[in-house]
């Protein structure tokens, strides 16, 4: 069976299901091939809260660029302890000296695409296998590049991606977080709607674009972890 026919069959199976049901059905269908990555943004927290109930043993990865906020690193530990799930930290296989030699000391300013490649994308590609199916917290309302997301898609690397929150809004997520008192990154309460590396994340004005604080002043809006269609970069 091709990936395209799997997508077709699963699309109707998953349509109109709740996130928990979608994760359960994806687990039944893809079993060991299913994995998740998270940087602990608020939609990732919502997704993790469903995952811990439905498929707590799914491999979960956090890609550590070494530039994350202390709050993000602490949140990972807090969630693992509170929910009893393992979230594996993945970093570049290259020693720091080699990375700095390849890119220079301030690549996050001079060449952020290369910095994101070596610190995020390459480590991710080292854990992806041919049949990996990716569980993602992608939502349509996050950005223009995500507006076409479906409950199940094939991404630009050819991997099947399951998006249980694809039609949830920012408000839906926060209502859910508050209703169930979920842990979340305290930086969200300090005007950081989207949180990545310290070097490239800034607060935004109230009501500003969700990703407006990322790579300010640069012609860059995405890190390249998620590629939503061939040649098109998606969001972290
Ligand atoms: S977000 Fe910034 S610091 Fe982090 S990997 Fe990308 S360019 Fe480097």
CATH number of residue 47's parent domain: 3.40.50.620
Q: Is 234 in the pocket of ligand 1 (CB under 6 A)?
A: no
Please identify, by atom number, the ligand 1 atom nearest to the C-alpha of residue 236. 1
Q: What residue numbers bound the domain in which 142 lies?
A: 3-226
Q: 217: left (phi > 0), else alpha (psi -120 to 50), else beta?
A: left
| Residue 93: inside a domain | yes
Residue 31 included in any domain:
yes
Q: How confident is the model at residue 72 (pLDDT cuts 50, 70, 90)?
A: very high
Q: Does any domain span residue 233?
A: no
Closest atom of ligand 1 relative to the 120 alpha carbon: 5
CA 39/CA 197 separation, integer angstroms: 10
Q: What is the pLDDT of residue 211?
A: 66
**Residue 213 resides in a domain:** yes
Residue 39 lies inside a defined structural domain of this protein = yes
The C-alpha atoms of residue 38 and residue 50 are separated, in whole angstroms, by 14
Taking CA atoms only, the protein residue closest to ligand 1 atom 6 is 116
> Is 116 a member of any domain?
yes
- d(CA 108, ligand 1 centre) in Å: 5
**What would the pLDDT profile of 27-61 be if each residue is shown by its tens digit?**
999 999 999 999 999 999 999 999 999 999 999 99
pLDDT of residue 1: 75
User: Could you tell me if residue 154 is inside a domain?
Assistant: yes
pLDDT band at 222; cut points 50, 70, 90: low
Q: How many domains does the chain have?
A: 1
- Residue 235 resides in a domain: no
Tens digits of residue pLDDT in 104-140: 999 999 899 999 999 999 999 999 998 999 999 999 8
pLDDT at 236: 47
The atom of ligand 1 lying closest to the CA of 198 is 3
Q: What is the DSSP letter of 118?
A: I
Side-by-side strand order, sheet with 160-162: 87-90, 60-63, 34-37, 133-135, 160-162, 152-154
User: Average model confidence (pLDDT) for the chain?
Assistant: 89
For ligand 1, pick from 116, 123, 198, 221 the residue to mutate: most ligand atoms within 8 Å of CB: 116
The alpha carbon of residue 139 and the mean position of all alpha carbons in its chain are separated, in whole angstroms, by: 10
| pLDDT for position 147 | 78
């Amino acid at each position: 069976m091709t990936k395209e026919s799997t997508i077709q069959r699963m699309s109707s199976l998953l349509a109109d299901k709740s996130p928990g049901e979608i994760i359960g059905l994806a687990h039944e269908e893809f079993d060991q091939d299913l994995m998740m990555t998270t940087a602990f943004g608020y939609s990732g927290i919502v997704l993790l809260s469903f995952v811990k109930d439905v498929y707590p043993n799914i491999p979960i990865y956090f890609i550590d660029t070494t530039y994350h906020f202390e709050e993000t690193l602490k949140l990972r530990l807090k969630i693992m302890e509170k929910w009893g799930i393992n979230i594996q930290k993945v970093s570049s296989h290259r020693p720091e000296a080699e990375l700095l030699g390849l890119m220079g000391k301030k690549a996050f300013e001079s060449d952020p695409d290369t910095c994101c490649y070596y610190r995020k994308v390459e480590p991710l590609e080292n854990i992806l296998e041919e049949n990996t199916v990716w569980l993602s917290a992608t939502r349509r309302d996050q950005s223009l590049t995500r507006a076409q997301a479906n409950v199940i898609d094939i991404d630009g690397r050819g991997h099947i991606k399951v998006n249980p929150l694809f039609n949830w809004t920012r408000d839906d997520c926060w209502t859910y977080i508050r209703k169930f008192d979920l842990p979340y990154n305290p930086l969200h309460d300090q005007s950081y709607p989207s949180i990545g590396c310290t070097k490239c994340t800034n607060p935004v004005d109230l009501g500003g674009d969700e990703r407006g604080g990322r790579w300010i002043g640069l012609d860059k809006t995405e890190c390249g972890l998620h590629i939503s269609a061939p040649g098109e970069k998606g969001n972290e």
